[in-house]
Chains A and B, each alone.
Chain A
Amino acid sequence: DIQMTQSPSTLSASVGDRVTITCRASQSVSDWLAWYQQKPGKAPNLLIYKASTLESGVPSRFSGSGSGTEFTLTINSLQPDDFATYYCQQYNAYSATFGQGTKVEIK
């Protein structure tokens, strides 16, 4: 099984900050990597797929990069609506695996 590890687990930031979340895969997933935002009591919302492609309707302050085993999600100029938990997820022909999540908190 492919394991996904995110860091940090929790991140404290202020409105306007630039934040970066890292996701590492236990083996290469090429660019088959997605990022989601989840708010309490809600289903996750797809932000980015194929490592760097922004899903339609997602603000451009969100960006993704990476390939192989190391990926990053960057949020430029953090907004009040961005305080949430973020998950990375790999997908291939056989399975899907999520990271353990990164909670972005208000500093």
Chain B
Amino acid sequence: QVQLQESGPGLVKPSQTLSLTCTVSGASISSGGYYWSWIRQPAGKGLEWIGRIFTSGSTNYNPSLKSRVTISRDTSKNQFSLKLSSVTAADTAVYYCARYRAATSFDYWGQGTLVTVSS
């Protein structure tokens, strides 16, 4: 059974960098046919795709966030990570990591972690 689990600080100060890690079990992030993504959802609002990392290590980002986002991976730990710099209150959201199955879409999701940006 594939499982994803987000971890990281629940509170980040404005202008600082938000850092989250997704630990994957039941599947290898190095396996072909899958991409590993971050998605966020502000309270009471819709879903926003942040970006993804491919098995090759290459990345795609949402153009609206591209200048502030870095997604990386640690294959030895079967983890991938999100860094979002210069955060503001508008970045307060539940952050999900998810697996994208090629030619289908996001088939497995983490439970989500709330990150609040506040001083």
Contact = CB atoms under 8 A, between A and B. Distances in A.
Contacts of B109: 43-45
Contact of B62 (A34, A43, A95, A99): A95
Interface centre among A1, A95, A96, A101 (most CB of B within 10 A): A96
Interface stretch (B13-21, B44-52, B83-91): B44-52
B80 interface: no
A95 B60 contact: yes
A43 B60 contact: no
A96 B46 CA distance: 13
Interface residues of A, number: 23
Given A97-B49, A99-B46, A100-B46, A43 B96 contact: yes
A83 interface: no
Interface centre among B48, B106, B111 (most CB of A within 10 A): B106
A43 B46 contact: no
A98 B60 contact: no
A44 B47 contact: yes
Nearest to B112: A43
A46 interface: yes
Interface string A60-95: 000000000000000000000000000101010011
Interface of B: 37, 46-49, 52, 60, 62-64, 96, 98, 100, 103-107, 109-112
23 contacts: A1-B63, A1-B64, A34-B105, A34-B106, A44-B109, A46-B104, A46-B105, A46-B106, A46-B107, A49-B103, A53-B104, A55-B107, A91-B100, A94-B60, A95-B63, A96-B100, A97-B49, A98-B46, A98-B47, A98-B48, A98-B49, A100-B46, A101-B46
